[in-house]
Amino acid sequence: MRVEIWSDIACPWCYVGKARFEKALAAFPHRDGVEVVHRSFELDPGRAKDDVQPVLTMLAKKYGMSEAQAEAGEDNLAAQAAAEGLAYRSRGRDHGNTFDMHRLLHFAKAHGRQDALIQILYRANFAEERSLFSEGDERLVALAAEAGLDADAARAVLADPAAYADEVRADEREAAQLGANGVPFFVLDRTYGVSGAQPAEVFTQALTQAWGERSPLKPIDAGQADACGPDGCAVPRD
């Protein structure tokens, strides 16, 4: 069974939702039969790469709230994260464009390191003092290397604006086709969709239901034909 997760590194509920989903997945009896794939979704796709601003300022402007209200929201998120064992800095973080991070995540996927990198990017954005947005490509290169990727190869990806750009845009188009207008968005075997950072119990229910309703393979009877099996391969005879 495949679970696809549309998310954005700048999304705090994606950070929390991933932890809740993984709690459910760790206890799922068929864990080894579940493939998890991370898909791209930008919360702020029109933001210029060099447009970086404090999170509290962004929230107050975007939602028309006071700074005190933005601070209260961040404090609530910090408490939600702490309940899942996650570190969360409610003050001093900044916000920016995540497109290059998504390109790097597709590069990581090609090398089997996608989940490691997304977790490192979440940690860097939500838990660490250093900015994920204002320190340039070398900050992302260092994080990619921490995830087990070749630093020079990651640097080359970031230097080429076209590298993995089509893959990011394809994910975003697919999210729109599936009706996802927010993240996190979890799709189980292209049959069930779960929106938001739901409690672990909801993910457990979704995994159980999706696993139980998988369609069995339906063979087409076209007569016997030569094939290979545990005992070897059929040998042609005159």
The predicted-structure confidence for 87-120, as pLDDT tens digits, reads as follows 999 999 999 999 999 999 999 999 999 999 999 9
Confidence at residue 89, expressed as pLDDT on a 0 to 100 scale: 97
* Mean pLDDT to the nearest integer, 220-233: 57
Confidence at residue 81, expressed as pLDDT on a 0 to 100 scale: 97
Measured from the Cβ of residue 34, the count of other Cβ atoms closer than 10 Å reads: 16
Better-predicted residue by pLDDT, 215 or 62: 62
List of E strands, 16-130: 35-40, 53-54, 94-95
Smallest Cα–Cα separation from 105: which of 26, 188, 29, 167?
167
pLDDT band at residue 125 under the 50/70/90 scheme: very high
pLDDT band at residue 213 under the 50/70/90 scheme: confident
pLDDT band at residue 214 under the 50/70/90 scheme: confident
Confidence at residue 171, expressed as pLDDT on a 0 to 100 scale: 98
Lowest-confidence region among 45-49, 145-149, 163-167: 45-49
Q: Is the pLDDT of residue 220 over 90?
A: no
The whole-angstrom separation of Cα 149 and Cα 112 is 9
Exposure letters 2-23 (e unless 16+ CB within 10 A, then b):
ebbbbbbbbbbbbbbbbbbbbb
Better-predicted residue by pLDDT, 228 or 91: 91
The whole-angstrom separation of Cα 131 and Cα 55 is 11
The whole-angstrom separation of Cα 41 and Cα 53 is 20
Work out whether strand 35-40 and strand 53-54 pair parallel, antiparallel, or are unpaired: unpaired
